[in-house]
Structure 1
Amino acid sequence: MTLITRLSRCAVVLTGLALAVGAVLPAQAAQRIKEVASVQGVRSNQLIGYGLVVGLDGTGDQTAQVPFTAQGVSSMLQQMGISVPPGTSMQLKNIAAVLVTATLPAFAQPGQQIDVSVSSIGNAKSLRGGSLVATPLKGADGEVYAVAQGGLIVGGAGASQGGSKVQINHLSGGRVPEGATVERTVPTPLSQGDSIQLDVNSADFNTARAVAQAINAAKGPGTAQAVDGRVVRVRAPQDMNERVSFLADIENLPLELAKPAAKVVMNPRTGSIVLNQAVSLAPCAVAHGSLSVTINSTPTVSQPNALSGGTTTVTEKTDISIAQQGGNVIQLPASAQLADVVKALNALGATPQDLLAILQAMKAAGALQADLEVI
């Protein structure tokens, strides 16, 4: 097998990406303050609620295994003035108990619409064609901030007949676009005090200093001060209209940032490997081989002799083979550019799963000049 045929598709994609990035990005990337920092207190909030989806075509919860669905229906009917006699057995194949979640954006006002996600928490087969009844959505403080209702959009589809089943995508969850109406606003500390606080997305002293210097250059010395690697305190006008204009100005100020810290992010579950432009290699030699174990099971028939009184039985014949692929020692030269690093890794002819082990070993040997992060 030649070296070209052993190159993984992931490594080839990384090579093309590295060449494109190296040709486009300069050594220093210009960004705006809004892309590296956020105003403290200006944030979204998560909402959650328990609801019922009705109108299903017999694909709802089996109430024998999901008793809380019947309890939810009884509670809803009681609120409408309909009492269910105690001990009544309810067969609710057209109803499903669901968990409703939404994200309340910053500065959302009563009457505005937000999207909601609906997920089954019972054993419903499908939520397709159902409608969510009015569901209060509460925040972490237990207060109701929105009410959700509307028809579900389920992206999947499925069918079953004669014991066979075909399903595309997921049928136990869906969305209601603009399905919730905001009922309450969340107060923010934006108008309080004589200063505001900018929180840098990633703790970095250089970034915090660059943010403060850019604001001072545009708004005057002493306007901003970097408190630490995460916080920049900025003096802002007291008038709210002027404060909004002030924030709009400083959010769009350009920054000249140095290269980020060298980092390699690895996902062992998917075999994904991402390297940023600051990763470099020291000279090293790498050898990597793979071990494969193959087990084959073949059914054989054991036939007894005549008049022996035995019975014909089926037995399993198992063959186990082990194959060890040799790995040649490959010398990798020092590399300071991302494209050169990717070319060196491609020269190993390893799969993404193999590269996970190789990169960890190179880091332990001191040849990989980067931090490893496993997600």
Structure 2
Amino acid sequence: NVQGVRENQLVGYSLVVGLDGTGDKNQVKFTNQTITNMLRQFGVQLPNKIDPKVKNVAAVAVSATLPPMYSRGQTIDVTVSSIGDAKSIRGGTLLLTQLHGADGEVYALAQGSVVVGGMNATGASGSSVTVNTPTAGLIPNGATVEREIPSDFQMGDTITLNLKRPSFKDANNIAAAINASFGGIATAQSSTNVTVRAPTSPGARVAFMSQLDDVQVQAEKIRARVVFNSRTGTVVMG
């Protein structure tokens, strides 16, 4: 990948409402406190020392990955995970949530219906069956970007390519392939970095990067792997 062009992690805290009696129990005090604070913002005052006893609400942590160079108005996927003792968040709706970066600033707002891949069933005899994780789910395109993260991609007269897997052979092959296509503009600095001289104007740099993507490199062979994702039900082989 290109140095300075990277993903950023976002996180927030909120409530999932509309559950079918599978929300947090009364022992989870921060859920009731959050409900009380939310109602107060809407002008609803509860009597002192009275906790709202509801079973259709769950406190959740909300996380998302902000891809590089995303602009305001674009949408990203959201992961919702219970942080209380809720049995399931299936069928719930996430309330409007601010997603913060590591610097504390708000970069996106999330809201929507939670899609849960897991399930939990209980029989009349008291036996229960749980498949995957019913207390975590996704909201596809559930967050809207409200603030852009600046990148140093456009700064300077060089770009740095970072190898995802350190290899002196791969670094040398990448530099050689680039130099064969564009002349002597690339230098392998280490087993993980290759620097390339690039145009300084934004338009020319983007065009240069599109051409750089087409350069064919003979990579060092690695073992094939098979990855199973039980949450999304996908299998990746390669």
TM-score (norm 2): 0.88
User: What residue in structure 2 maps to residue 53 of structure 1?
Assistant: 16
Among 223, 231, 240, the residue aligned to 2:202: 240
1:44-86, CA deviations, whole angstroms, 9 ceiling, x for partnerless residues?
11111111001111111002x2111011111212222223332
Among 97, 113, 117, the residue aligned to 1:155: 117
Letter in 2 for 1:256: Q
Identity of aligned residues (%): 49
User: What residue in structure 2 maps to residue 336 of structure 1?
Assistant: none
Among 24, 43, 52, the residue aligned to 2:6: 43
The 3 A distance-change label for structure 1 pair 165 and 239 is same
Residue 226 (1) aligns with residue 181 (2) = no
C-alpha distance in 2 between matches for 1:85 and 1:207:
67
C-alpha distance in 2 between matches for 1:73 and 1:264:
49
Letter in 1 for 2:65: T
Residue 190 (1) aligns with residue 169 (2) = no
Letter in 2 for 1:166: V
C-alpha distance in 2 between matches for 1:213 and 1:78:
64
Alignment of 1:300-315 (within 5 A): none
**SS of alignment partner, residue 14 of structure 2:** strand
Shift of 1:166: 3.3
User: What residue in structure 1 maps to residue 215 of structure 2?
Assistant: 253
C-alpha distance in 2 between matches for 1:158 and 1:205:
50
C-alpha distance in 2 between matches for 1:187 and 1:240:
14
C-alpha distance in 1 between matches for 2:191 and 2:120:
52
Shift of 1:174: 1.0
Shift of 1:128: 1.3
RMSD: 1.8
C-alpha distance in 1 between matches for 2:33 and 2:115:
26
1:201-255, CA deviations, whole angstroms, 9 ceiling, x for partnerless residues?
222222111111111111112x111112211111111111110111111122111
User: What residue in structure 2 maps to residue 314 of structure 1?
Assistant: none
**SS of alignment partner, residue 90 of structure 2:** coil
C-alpha distance in 1 between matches for 2:48 and 2:134:
33
Residue 138 (1) aligns with residue 100 (2) = yes
Shift of 1:96: 0.4
Unaligned runs of 5+ in 2: 226-238
Residue 113 (1) aligns with residue 75 (2) = yes
**SS of alignment partner, residue 133 of structure 1:** strand
Higher Cα radius of gyration = 1
TM-score (norm 1): 0.57
Higher helix residue share: 1
C-alpha distance in 1 between matches for 2:6 and 2:109:
20
C-alpha distance in 2 between matches for 1:264 and 1:147:
39
Moved more, 162-171 or 70-79: 162-171
Report how many aligned residue pairs link the two structures: 224
The 3 A distance-change label for structure 1 pair 258 and 164 is closer
1:271-313, CA deviations, whole angstroms, 9 ceiling, x for partnerless residues?
xxxxxxxxxxxxxxxxxxxxxxxxxxxxxxxxxxxxxxxxxxx
Contact 2:157/2:197 (CA < 8 Å) preserved in 1? yes
**SS of alignment partner, residue 254 of structure 1:** coil
**SS of alignment partner, residue 246 of structure 1:** helix
The 3 A distance-change label for structure 1 pair 258 and 89 is closer
**SS of alignment partner, residue 136 of structure 1:** strand
The 3 A distance-change label for structure 1 pair 259 and 94 is closer
Letter in 1 for 2:167: D
Contact 2:19/2:57 (CA < 8 Å) preserved in 1? yes
User: What residue in structure 1 maps to residue 46 of structure 2?
Assistant: 84
1:300-339, CA deviations, whole angstroms, 9 ceiling, x for partnerless residues?
xxxxxxxxxxxxxxxxxxxxxxxxxxxxxxxxxxxxxxxx
Alignment of 1:158-169 (within 5 A): 158-162=120-124, 163-169=126-132
Alignment of 1:335-374 (within 5 A): none
C-alpha distance in 2 between matches for 1:256 and 1:167:
46
Residue 181 (1) aligns with residue 144 (2) = yes
